[in-house]
Amino acid sequence: MTVERKNNINYGKHFIDDEDIRAVVEVLGSDFLTQGPKVGEFETRVSEIVGATFTASFNSATSALHCACLALGVEKNDVVWTSAISFVASANCALYCNADVDFVDIDPSTFNLSITDLSKKLKFCHDNKLKLPKVVIAVHMCGNPCDMRSLKLLSNEYNFRIIEDASHALGSKHLGEFVGNCKYSDITVFSYHPVKNITTGEGGTASTNDPILFKKLKQFSSHGIVKSQEDLRKKSEWSLYYEQQTLGFNYRMTDISAALGISQLSKLDGFISDRNVLANEYNNFFSHKNVRVQTVSDFDISAYHIYIVLLSSKSERFKLFNFLKQKDIHCSFHYPPIYSQPYYRNLAKTYMPCPNADEYADRALTIPLYPSMSLELQSKVMSAIEDYGL
Ligand SMILES: *Cc1c(COP(=O)(O)O)cnc(C)c1O
């Protein structure tokens, strides 16, 4: 069996080869489609690669974020803060726990949560005796690592916990080490949706160095049930004895997905270097144009899950998007501010202001970049942009 590929140009695209297909087919012929050996193997591989002690797998990053919040004790009357510019899942996870959510503005050059705005808002809430966040969810936008050391210092000062939503950042490096080692956070979540850096179809993981958090993550992902002797409240001689000790969910990853994930992980280095080669080409190209691109620290490596440019105005973005679309080049938009979504507006809360996020939302455009994109294909995108004339 071989993989056929069409030649239309999208903003992102998964990469599946014959090895991936074989890995999945092998599981289909085995004794376990789910809850077999592949899930644990995948978790171990992720831990080894990112440098965390433990990794729990999930059927999506969204469910991993939900359980990460639960594991950190997020509940009613708590508030969770996250970046104004992210996928809605970064905020929804707090609402699932009946907590409130509020937003930190972005830094207009990194597109990440602004440490300056965060520290201003923390101080304001502290001075005015307003509720401080129990958890801050930092999003590594496009794979660009957040300034985790500064975030950690603030968390010590204001006593909040940290979740990294690293859905874009598998393979990114911060200060020389892989994102996911949880050096500056409690839990790091990755997504394996097909547009992300590797895929398991649908899937996610949560890594941590804390054995208690790890146990909670596992337990919440599987109905709140525990089975191992040391965790049981009642001792039993019967090997089939288990206990449901809390209310959990069926958020488990399947062995089919995990086998695909293991196979994909072996290609991660190649994916990240392909993405960086393409991103460098774009960076050079746009350095001569009236367009802003994302700033990545010299001490970091971005996985470049997506490549975003900021156009000079809303109308310029609209025109360029349509111009490229006519040439079969399909761009995208990541993301409108979460608080601007009708659902969030209908909650009738007042959110803290995020002027940078509002401005970003008018101008951001995600242009095509994915591992199997050839340099020839990329030149087609660049010459189309050249034809448009920026
Ligand atoms: C994709 C994404 C998610 C959700 O991932 P799923 O695996 O699709 O649930 C969460 N946060 C961010 C920033 C994402 O990009």
236 vs 320, more confident: 320
What is the rounded average pLDDT of the residues 64-87?
A: 98
Q: Which atom of ligand 1 is nearest to the CA of 203?
A: 7
Does 5 have pLDDT greater than 80?
no
Does 220 have pLDDT greater than 60?
yes
265: closest CA among 54, 60, 42? 42
Q: How would residue 6 be classed by pLDDT, with cut points 50, 70 and 90? A: low
Backbone angles phi, psi at 62, to 5 degrees: -60, -45
Strand-by-strand arrangement of the 292-293 sheet: 292-293, 307-310, 364-367
Which residue puts its alpha carbon closest to atom 6 of ligand 1? 61
| 86 Cβ below 6 A of ligand 1 | yes
Ligand 1 center to residue 170 CA distance, Å? Answer: 12
| 165 Cβ below 6 A of ligand 1 | yes
Q: Identify the sign of the CA torsion 13, 196, 172, 40.
A: negative
| 191 Cβ below 6 A of ligand 1 | yes
| 139 Cβ below 6 A of ligand 1 | yes
Q: How many Cβ atoms are within 10 Å of 18's Cβ, its own excluded?
A: 10
Ligand 1 pocket test target in 14, 141, 191, 260 with most atoms within 8 Å of CB: 191
Predicted pLDDT of residue 243: 97
| 61 Cβ below 6 A of ligand 1 | yes
Ligand 1 center to residue 195 CA distance, Å? Answer: 10
What is the rounded average pLDDT of the residues 303-330?
A: 97
What is the rounded CA–CA span in Å between residue 114 and residue 106?
5
| Cα–Cα distance list, 103 to 54, 73, 132, 247, 385 (Å) | 29, 20, 12, 28, 34
| 204 Cβ below 6 A of ligand 1 | yes
What is the rounded CA–CA span in Å between residue 255 and residue 4?
25
Ligand 1 center to residue 201 CA distance, Å? Answer: 13
| 193 Cβ below 6 A of ligand 1 | yes
Q: How would residue 348 be classed by pLDDT, with cut points 50, 70 and 90? A: confident
> pLDDT digit string (tens) for 88-137?
999 999 999 999 999 999 999 999 999 999 999 999 999 999 999 999 99
Q: Is the pTM of this model over 0.85?
A: yes
